Amino acid sequence: MTSIQLPDPILDRRQEIQRIAAASLDRRKIYSKIALSFCGVFLGVALVPLVAVLAYTIQRGLQAWSVDFFAHLPTPSGIPGGGIRNAIVGSLIIDGIAAAGAIPFGILAGMFLAESSGRFADGVRFAADVLSGVPSIIMAIFAYALLVKPLGHFSAIAASFAIGVLMLPIIMRASETAIRSVPSTLSEAGLALGARQATVARRVTIPTALPGLITGVLLALARGVGETAPLLFTAIGSQYFSSSPFKPIAALPLVVYQDGIQAYPDLQRTAWGTALFLILLVLLLSVGSRLGAAWLRREKR
Amino acid sequence: MTDPVTQKKQTEAATAVTALNVATEQALEPPPPNEPIMRLSGVAVAFKGRMAVRDVTLDFPEYQVTALIGPSGSGKTTLLRSLNRMHDLTRYAKISGKVMLDDVDIYARNMSPTLLRSRVGMVFQRPNPFPAMSIYENVISGLKFNGVRKKSLHDEAAESALIAADLWDSVRTRMKAGAGTLSGGEQQRLCIARALAVEPEVLLMDEPTSSLDPISTRHIEELLGELKTRVSIIIVTHNMQQAMRVSDHCAFLLMGEDKAGELIEASATTKMFHSPDDPRTLDYINGRFG
């Protein structure tokens, strides 16, 4: 087998190791199988609630869906043909204003965090982390005290404020991560060509980080769309159509909350239909953010 | 008309050149290859149906260093990774042909990839010591993974492997330190020691010095000459000088027209670098492309 005689200790050791490895192979295979089946079982258990929630919502929600459901305004219980048009528009307005405020602040603050180090930046980063951990009901009561109480009435803009503040830290940290992941050699290459820092940020760093920025924004939107607690104290909900930011307004999560706890089956159906719509909306935002990021990355190759 | 002194000098110089040529030619006499430890016949690797390496038939001699050389994309690394079934880890790779280790087909149904890899070790491009383990734990990790629990065997193998990797003197007093405390070159030698501790028959090295500085590189190159007394070495390198310095045999691969790597020629290193059979090899070693 061997043409050269090896020093004995090495050859002996090789034989012993190979013998032990072969002898323990069955045992190791069994361990591996057991570990793997544990992973499988736990994965299965973890998937149960997820699948159950989705399946049940789809089953209940689809019963409510029709063209009228999306096109009509709500009707009192017992009168068929009611819809959630006002809530869809309301959510669009609330979350649109919230995003319009939170996106520029979040991205610019994220850029600041990515580009700077030091005590102040650390403080801001810590504050953002704390802010993202604050329960949304606290944001709600804050918005209530700041905007609802002084103005004397509930309004969409107060809801936008509460939701926007919730979205802010998410966008901030996601933007920071995205911008940090741009290799510093790229911005150095730009600077070495004689570009100013701001130019490099605009022409090199941001375009490179764009997929990450978009993902962060869309995930924050997905989070904001489903928030309910802040709306309870601010938008309050409405049976009527309103597109004014300064009046009480309907919103999708509020429909689920308010109609869902009613005793009337038709209102409950509306709640399930709205819940399904919300899930799809969030799913669309998540999938959209991934597809968008992947598409942006591919474009440049 | 040249003066006699110059003429004499020229004659002397000519004689010296002739003598040198004779000497070189003697040195060029390639060493006879040892018995092969691994033999490939018609090996091809495809990813997602796209051929990456095609039809390689090649022997790797035992207890010698064989270098796989060729430009980027010629399939050197792909070929190397097919020798210890690392492609098993990607679903998209499909391997055909036959890879023999000694007298067993490593892709045979009853061959365990785990046992195979304890016989065919690997060192990677970048040093990759396990960060959560100490130096000592790193070295004996392969033994533990293979079910070896005997402490005396751990110590014995660790010492032998660290000595072989020329790391013993610098780490013997700090075996419990984290592997991250070592320099890049030391980390790579730790990885070599880790691979050696299992006492493999073959050691695959995938551009093991490409992320190291010249001094660390030289250190590892010098090691290889001694390591081959205990393990057969197959090394991928894109550094021609390195191949010339460390290897006994060379295999030259090149990307074909359909982007699949092909074996152009294989021979003793001295022959490959002085009188290759294929003009493409000559072009490559002379730096005319790639």
Cβ of A18 under 8 Å from any chain B Cβ?
yes
Whether residue B170 is contained in a domain is answered as no
Q: What confidence score (pLDDT) does residue B289 get?
A: 66
CA distance A27 to A112: 54
Architecture in CATH of A67-299? Orthogonal Bundle (1.10)
Beta bridge partners of B203: B121, B233
CA distance B84 to B203: 10
Q: pLDDT band for position B1 (50/70/90)?
A: very low
CA distance B84 to B192: 16
Cβ of A19 under 8 Å from any chain B Cβ?
no
CA distance A220 to A227: 11
| Cα-based distances in Å from B67 to A8, B121, B240 | 27, 16, 10
Whether residue B255 is contained in a domain is answered as yes
Residues 6+ positions from B124 with CB-CB distance below 8 Å: B191, B206, B208
pLDDT by residue, tens only, chain A of 301 residues? 445 555 688 889 999 999 999 999 999 999 999 999 999 999 999 999 999 999 999 999 999 999 989 999 888 888 888 889 999 999 999 999 999 999 999 999 999 998 888 899 899 999 989 988 889 999 999 999 999 999 889 999 999 999 999 999 999 999 999 999 999 899 899 999 999 988 998 899 988 899 889 989 998 999 999 999 999 999 888 888 888 888 999 999 999 999 999 989 999 999 999 999 999 999 998 898 888 888 877 765 5
Q: CA neighbours within 13 Å on the CB side: how many for B264?
A: 24
Cβ of A25 under 8 Å from any chain B Cβ?
yes
How close does chain A come to B18, measured CA to CA in Å? 37
Which of A7, A9, A21 shows the shortest C-beta gap to B146? A21
| Contact between residue B200 and residue B125 where contact means Cβ atoms under 8 Å apart | no
How many cross-chain Cβ pairs, A to B, lie less than 8 Å apart? Answer: 62
How close does chain B come to A179, measured CA to CA in Å? 26
Q: Which residue of A has its CA nearest to B114?
A: A25
Query: What does the pLDDT look like over A253-266, one tens digit per residue?
Result: 999 999 999 989 99
Query: What does the pLDDT look like over A18-62, one tens digit per residue?
Result: 999 999 999 999 999 999 999 999 999 999 999 999 999 999 999
Q: What confidence score (pLDDT) does residue B234 get?
A: 97
Cβ of B141 under 8 Å from any chain A Cβ?
no
Query: What does the pLDDT look like over B34-50, one tens digit per residue?
Result: 899 999 999 999 999 89
Ranges of beta strands (E only) in B6-48 are: 36-47
Residues present in chain B in total: 290
Edge-to-edge order in the sheet of strand B65-69: B104-105, B93-101, B36-47, B50-61, B261-268, B249-255, B65-69, B232-236, B202-206, B120-123
Structure-block tokens of residue A35: 């570990």
How close does chain B come to A32, measured CA to CA in Å? 12
Count of CB atoms within 10 A of residue B43's CB?
Answer: 22
Q: Which residue range(s) make up the domain with B257?
A: 36-128+202-236+243-285
Contact B147 A23 (CB under 8 A): yes
Cβ of B153 under 8 Å from any chain A Cβ?
yes
The domain that holds B46 is classified in CATH as 3.40.50.300
Which of A3, A10, A23 shows the shortest C-beta gap to B35? A3
Residue type, A120: F
Structure-block tokens of residue B99: 């890879």
Whether residue B249 is contained in a domain is answered as yes
Residues 222 to 261 of B: which have CB under 8 A from any A CB? 229-230
How close does chain A come to B72, measured CA to CA in Å? 19
Which of B34, B119, B153 shows the shortest C-beta gap to A16? B153
What are the DSSP calls for A173-215, one per residue? Answer: HHHHHHHHTS-HHHHHHHHHTT--HHHHIIIIIHHHHHHHHHH
Cβ of A30 under 8 Å from any chain B Cβ?
no
Whether residue B165 is contained in a domain is answered as no
Burial A103-126 (b: 16+ CB within 10 A, else e): beebbebbbbbbeeeeeeeeebbe
Cβ of A14 under 8 Å from any chain B Cβ?
yes
Contact B153 A25 (CB under 8 A): no
Contact A13 B147 (CB under 8 A): no
Count of CB atoms within 10 A of residue B177's CB?
Answer: 13
Beta bridge partners of B267: B250
Q: Which residue of B has its CA nearest to A4?
A: B63
Contact A6 B198 (CB under 8 A): no
Q: Which residues of B touch A2 (CB under 8 A)?
A: 35, 62-63
Q: Which residues of A touch B148 (CB under 8 A)?
A: 17, 20-21
Q: Which residue of A has its CA nearest to B231?
A: A6
- B62, B115, B153, B199: which to substitute to probe chain A, counting the most A Cβ within 10 Å? B199
Q: Which residue of A has its CA nearest to B156?
A: A13
| Contact between residue B189 and residue B220 where contact means Cβ atoms under 8 Å apart | yes
Residues 6+ positions from A115 with CB-CB distance below 8 Å: A179, A201
3-state secondary structure of B267: strand
Q: Which residue of B has its CA nearest to A29?
A: B114
Contact B160 A13 (CB under 8 A): yes
How close does chain A come to B198, measured CA to CA in Å? 7
Whether residue B86 is contained in a domain is answered as yes
Query: What does the pLDDT look like over B48-95, one tens digit per residue?
Result: 989 999 999 999 999 999 999 999 889 999 999 999 999 988 888 999
| pTM (whole model) above 0.90 | no
The position carrying tokens 């919300």 is: A278
Contact B156 A6 (CB under 8 A): no
Q: pLDDT band for position B209 (50/70/90)?
A: very high
Cα angle A277-A283-A287, degrees, rounded to a multiple of 5:
145
3-state secondary structure of B94: strand
Cβ of B115 under 8 Å from any chain A Cβ?
yes
Three-state SS string across A232-287, please? HCCCECCCCCCCCCCCCECCHHHHHHHHHCCCCHHHHHHHHHHHHHHHHHHHHHHH
CA distance A26 to A31: 9
Which of B115, B199, B201 shows the shortest C-beta gap to A22? B115
Three-state SS string across A59-128, please? HHHHHHCCHHHHHCCCCCCCCCCCCCHHHHHHHHHHHHHHHHHHHHHHHHHHHHHHHCCCHHHHHHHHHH
Name the burial class of residue B111, with classes exposed (0-12), middle (13-18) and buried (19+) by CB atoms within 10 angstroms of its CB. Answer: middle
Residues 6+ positions from B117 with CB-CB distance below 8 Å: B84, B85
Structure-block tokens of residue A265: 């089956």
Contact B147 A3 (CB under 8 A): no
Contact A10 B160 (CB under 8 A): yes
Element (H, E) at B268: strand B261-268
Structural domains of chain B, count: 1
Beta-strand relationship, B104-105 and B50-61: unpaired
- Reference B158, options B145, B170, B175, B133; nearest CA is B175
